[in-house]
Amino acid sequence: MSEGAAKKEEKPRKFQAIRGTRDLLPPETALWNRVEQTADEVFSTFGFGEIRVPIFESTDLFARSIGAETDVVSKEMYTFGGFAEFSARVREGRVEGMLSEMSPEEMISLRPEATASVCRAYIEHNMQQLPQPVKLYYMGPMFRRERPQKGRYRQFYQIGAEVLGGSDAPAIDAEVIEMVMTFFDRLELQGAQLDINSIGDRNCRPKYVELLRAELLKVRDNPATAGRLGPDTLRRIETNPLRVLDSKLESEQAIIAKLPRIADHLCEECAAHYAAVKHQLEMRGVIYRENWRLVRGLDYYMRTTFEITAQGLGSQNAVCGGGRYDGLVELLGGPPTKGIGFAIGEDRLILSLQESGKAPTQQGRDVYIAWMGERAHATAIRAAKDLRKAGFSVELPPVEQKFGKALGQADKLGAKYALILGDNEVSEGLWTLKTLADGSQAKFTEPDLLEHLRKQKAGGL
């Protein structure tokens, strides 16, 4: 068989986006842009500035800040070998067991979230020397190797904000929450439900966690109830009893409902802080629901936690999670620093907006220029330039078309007007504008046409 014949039989591979990733296409991207622009606008009215952090960081940064034993770090990160050590070992042929032996500082991971990076940047750029608190927001892709489903992707997008430094005044917690709710309001997100809780601090939480563990052990060791606990809970009784409260397992719900509640075990300072946060939310007209089962499993999280759910999302209905993390900057080698922040799942926010009919439809062109003849082409190019400069969306066909075909094309593209430029129009200096909705036509001089279109646009036509 000749080489040519063999090539013919080879079918080119059809590539598809990797599982859990997706393409965002127009017109949906217009909604993404609107959401991001609204975030820019709303957050800056609260004095937040944008930070852009890298998409990959040292694996160790995430292991330390999110916790090496969490699902995110232990199972879901996309991690790569550190390249200096990697290439040295490849050069020297020492590749056996390479990945497991490489030092953690040499490994890098795609970011599964951005709080750790923002705290690293705060320390790295000595932001504690700036007027405190420093208020930052970010947006961009995050990566977690989770099981994909509606509202859960392996590359997903978050919009988040952090307040670092200064005090832990309850008004800060309330203002951060007010800001997210204002943002959702501005987008007309339907059914946004805010849940809040306080998980205490280093002073009172350990005692509560021990109490929780003791109660759960009683359930586990009682033959009448033991069978109702799932494997995750059985493990978490040892590793992280607080996380048991997250459980959605049906058989555990009646047991969880009877567990001691943290609100009854907060120390005086935490109880006062929580009461003040609620009062501050009320002063701002922010409606909340208390949810004692809303917890965060990591030590540096303290006091305020919150979550916002929205409608139209099925089981993955959390659009925003946030909380106070006063110990994190110190844990990453910085000075003791107060901190609070949140992350919004942008994919889910968009899904919810689409479900409630808030998605923009395909934006048609304003003007389709139907030109015929060389002279008309030159005029058409100039007209397109002027119209675009004035902010109109213009389609200028690259090759000459018969008028009938051009008008058909204009219709398909959802154009509002067809600007007809032929020899007559060019020699007379009078251009024909056809309104496609009703088929009416009128002639305009060049300046009059621009003025007419401007007026129509201002009037929403």
Q: If you search the block for the tokens 């007026």, which residue do you land on?
A: 455
Distance, CA of 53 to CA of 123 (rounded, Å): 13
Residue number with the smallest Cβ distance to ligand AMP: 345
Residue (343 or 453) nearer to ligand AMP, CB: 343
Residue (111 or 135) nearer to ligand AMP, CB: 111
Residue (153 or 183) nearer to ligand AMP, CB: 153
Distance, CA of 449 to CA of 16 (rounded, Å): 46
The two tokens of residue 145 are 């190797």
CB 396 within 8 A of CB 381: yes
Give DSSP secondary structure letters for 76-106: S--EE--HHHHHHHHHTT--TTHHHHS-GGG
Site string for ligand AMP, 107-136 (x = CB under 6 A): ------x-----------------------
Counting residues that bind ligand AMP (by CB under 6 A) gives 16
CB 44 within 8 A of CB 36: no
Part of the chain binding ligand AMP (CB under 6 A), chosen from 196-204, 341-349, 371-379, 443-451:
341-349
- Binding of residue 310 to ligand AMP (CB under 6 A): no
Distance, CA of 216 to CA of 141 (rounded, Å): 38
Cis peptide before 133 (omega within 30 of 0): yes
- Considering only CA atoms, give the Rg of the chain: 29
Part of the chain binding ligand AMP (CB under 6 A), chosen from 224-232, 284-292, 344-352, 414-422:
344-352
Among 172, 343, 376, 407, binds ligand AMP (CB under 6 A): 343
- Binding of residue 377 to ligand AMP (CB under 6 A): no
Sheet architecture: strand order including 441-444? 394-395, 367-371, 417-421, 431-435, 441-444
Among 65, 109, 117, 158, binds ligand AMP (CB under 6 A): 158
Please count the other Cβ atoms lying within 10 Å of the Cβ belonging to residue 435: 14
Residue (194 or 369) nearer to ligand AMP, CB: 194
- Binding of residue 319 to ligand AMP (CB under 6 A): yes
Residue (168 or 347) nearer to ligand AMP, CB: 347
Site string for ligand AMP, 71-110 (x = CB under 6 A): ----------------------------------------
Give the amino acid at 338: K
Part of the chain binding ligand AMP (CB under 6 A), chosen from 35-43, 255-263, 317-325, 398-406:
317-325
CB 97 within 8 A of CB 139: no
CB 345 within 8 A of CB 320: yes
- Binding of residue 348 to ligand AMP (CB under 6 A): yes
Among 137, 153, 325, 417, binds ligand AMP (CB under 6 A): 153
Please count the other Cβ atoms lying within 10 Å of the Cβ belonging to residue 284: 15
Residue 133 has phi, psi (to 5 degrees) of: -80, 160
Residue (113 or 178) nearer to ligand AMP, CB: 113
Please report, as ranges, the residues that interact with ligand AMP according to CB under 6 A: 113, 144, 146, 151-153, 156, 158, 318-321, 343, 345, 347-348
